[in-house]
Chains A and B, each alone.
Chain A
Amino acid sequence: MIDLLKDNDELLLNAYCDGELDPASASEFERRLSSDTALRARYDRLLNLRRAVCSVPEPEMPAGLQARILSRLDQPRPETDQPSHVGALRRRNWSYRALAAAAVFGAVISSSVMMTMEQYARRENVASEVVAGHIRGLLAPQPYDIASSDRHTVKPWFTGRLPSSPQVPDLSAQGFTLLGGRVDVIGRDPVATIVYKHAAHTISLTTLRASQSVPDQAIAGYNVRSWSDPDFTYVAVSDLPSADLAAFERAFSASTPAPEIK
């Protein structure tokens, strides 16, 4: 992407305003901005335009649209595939219907049990994959792909690599030093893992898609602690005692980092 930008200030300017430059290119561009007044004027103009666009009121969704959509979905789907068959079945005696109802009931019951079991297995799997990521991190020369104690470096690094990236709070005041970040692959999805240090212990905080539940547990000598917010499910792995991991969770959840400044 950078090669494309090199000789094209206009695109570079836009990408900078949109927060799409990697940190190195962004700081180089900032250096240019501070010395080049013409570029600075174009930058201000672009900011003005963006501000003007954002001031346009957004159309409001009509009340009741959601209800209309849901009621349309809840209507039975027209059975176009085998209409004559259905009619024939209906004309026979009641035992077919009872049989069918029983079959459907059975299918519902067993499928929900299967689903629960499948979810259970998946949850177990997720936890051990997250722990595996932590162990791999410890075995590698360093447990992170991007080393930085600056959350403003780590967050954009994730943003550039993943469809959604978590907030990266600075928890050094609470005793958890930010070391950096890496991308782990859980299942088939690349996910963000933030790496903190507490005393001599490394903590991997893996961020999964929201609304997964991973039970707190110990795997291979590492404690696993998980919690969720509306955006992500967090899984912290460390050889810290679980009380310290709980303190880490509190510190992380309590931190509400200032909105990213573009």
Chain B
Amino acid sequence: MLEGGPEGSDQLSCQQRISVPVVQNTDERAAFDEVFLPHLSEAYRLAHWITGNASDAEDIVQEAAIRAFRGIKTFGAVNARAWSLTIVRNTAFSWLAKNKPKTVVFLNDLSEAERQQVEYGPHGAGIETPEQIALAKADAEEVQKALARLPVQFREVIVLREMNEMNYRDIAEITNVPIGTVMSRLSRGRRLLSALLRGRE
């Protein structure tokens, strides 16, 4: 259920073949333009949400674009958007694992007790109407700050769901976890976000 950080980030490079450069490049380039390019701004936003930082997001998208280009043959013609965002997401996680920015919290950065509380804590208890009132007042900036404080595994499922409007199946594919985990992370993440917003005063 829990995963450390980067997953599957290297799977693209091993599919790469270097031969007959001229013809193949034209082909790959056309495929890249069709498959990856339409999702570029969404890719950038996802990278920005994961890292919380514009210049890192830009580096990640550039790197992801190159990975996508080299691995374009592995695209299985099913869902170009999910395929593209998977690469961006994995590139971002590799980047996080390498650079370990202090602002990004991973689930496994938390102590065991905190993690248990966050991921498996009791349902339903504790959150009552005051929060609803608090939420009505929360402005976009506060929500943004609260989002940035979420462990990244929660933030990414919330962002994929709310900003990218992805369904559970695509989120599961992109984040490389089972649908059940997507569901529990969404639910936990939203509860945690509510709690952060409620406790912000």
A residues in contact (CB < 8 Å) with B: 1, 4, 8-11, 13-15, 18-20, 41-42, 44-46, 48-50, 52-59, 61-62, 65-66, 68-69, 72-74, 76-77, 79-81, 104, 107-108, 111, 159, 163-164, 189, 209, 211
Q: Which of B34, B65, B135, B197 contacts A69 (CB 8 A)?
A: B65
- The B interface, classified by DSSP as helix, strand, loop or mixed, is helix
A10-B132 contact, Cβ under 8 Å, with A52-B143, A53-B193: no
Which residues of the other chain, A, contact B123 by a CB distance below 8 angstroms?
A: 8-10
The answer to whether B131 and A45 touch across the interface, beta carbons within 8 angstroms, is yes
Report the minimal beta-carbon distance from A147 to chain B, rounded to whole angstroms.
23
Report the minimal beta-carbon distance from A48 to chain B, rounded to whole angstroms.
5
CB 8 Å contact bits of B117-136 with A (1 = contact, 0 = none): 00000011001010110011
Which residues of the other chain, B, contact A74 by a CB distance below 8 angstroms?
A: 29
The answer to whether B147 and A53 touch across the interface, beta carbons within 8 angstroms, is yes
A-B contact pairs, 21 of them (CB 8 A): A8-B123, A9-B124, A10-B187, A11-B183, A19-B167, A41-B132, A44-B132, A46-B190, A52-B140, A52-B143, A55-B143, A56-B143, A57-B144, A61-B41, A68-B62, A69-B61, A72-B62, A73-B32, A74-B29, A77-B18, A163-B82
* Nearest opposing residue in chain A for B129, CB measure: A41
- Residue in A50, A58, A62 whose Cβ sees the most chain B Cβ within 10 Å: A58
The answer to whether B58 and A52 touch across the interface, beta carbons within 8 angstroms, is no
Which residues of the other chain, B, contact A48 by a CB distance below 8 angstroms?
A: 132, 135-136
- Tell me the count of chain B residues lying within 8 A, CB to CB, of chain A: 62
Within 8 A of A (CB), among B29-47: 29, 32, 34, 37, 40-41, 44-45
Interchain CA distance A52-B143 in the complex, whole Å? 7
Q: Which of B21, B82, B132, B158 contacts A53 (CB 8 A)?
A: B158
Further pairs besides A14-B190, A53-B163: 12, Cβ < 8 Å: A8-B123, A11-B183, A20-B168, A44-B132, A49-B190, A53-B147, A62-B44, A69-B40, A72-B65, A108-B22, A108-B26, A159-B167
The answer to whether B23 and A69 touch across the interface, beta carbons within 8 angstroms, is no
A107-B193 contact, Cβ under 8 Å, with A14-B186, A59-B44, A72-B62: no
The answer to whether A52 and B32 touch across the interface, beta carbons within 8 angstroms, is no
Interchain CA distance A76-B25 in the complex, whole Å? 9
Which residues of the other chain, B, contact A81 by a CB distance below 8 angstroms?
A: 18
Interchain CA distance A204-B53 in the complex, whole Å? 48
A45-B44 contact, Cβ under 8 Å, with A20-B168, A73-B32: no
A20-B167 contact, Cβ under 8 Å, with A53-B193, A104-B22: yes
The answer to whether A107 and B62 touch across the interface, beta carbons within 8 angstroms, is no
CB 8 Å contact bits of B174-197 with A (1 = contact, 0 = none): 000001100110110011011001
- Residue in B158, B180, B183 whose Cβ sees the most chain A Cβ within 10 Å: B183
Interchain CA distance A79-B191 in the complex, whole Å? 52
CB 8 Å contact bits of B151-166 with A (1 = contact, 0 = none): 0000000100111000
Interchain CA distance A3-B50 in the complex, whole Å? 32
Which residues of the other chain, A, contact B124 by a CB distance below 8 angstroms?
A: 9-10, 42
* Nearest opposing residue in chain B for A59, CB measure: B48
Assess whether B93 is interfacial by the CB under 8 Å rule: no
Which residues of the other chain, A, contact B138 by a CB distance below 8 angstroms?
A: 52
A77-B183 contact, Cβ under 8 Å, with A41-B129, A61-B45, A163-B170: no
Interchain CA distance A49-B195 in the complex, whole Å? 11
* Nearest opposing residue in chain A for B20, CB measure: A107
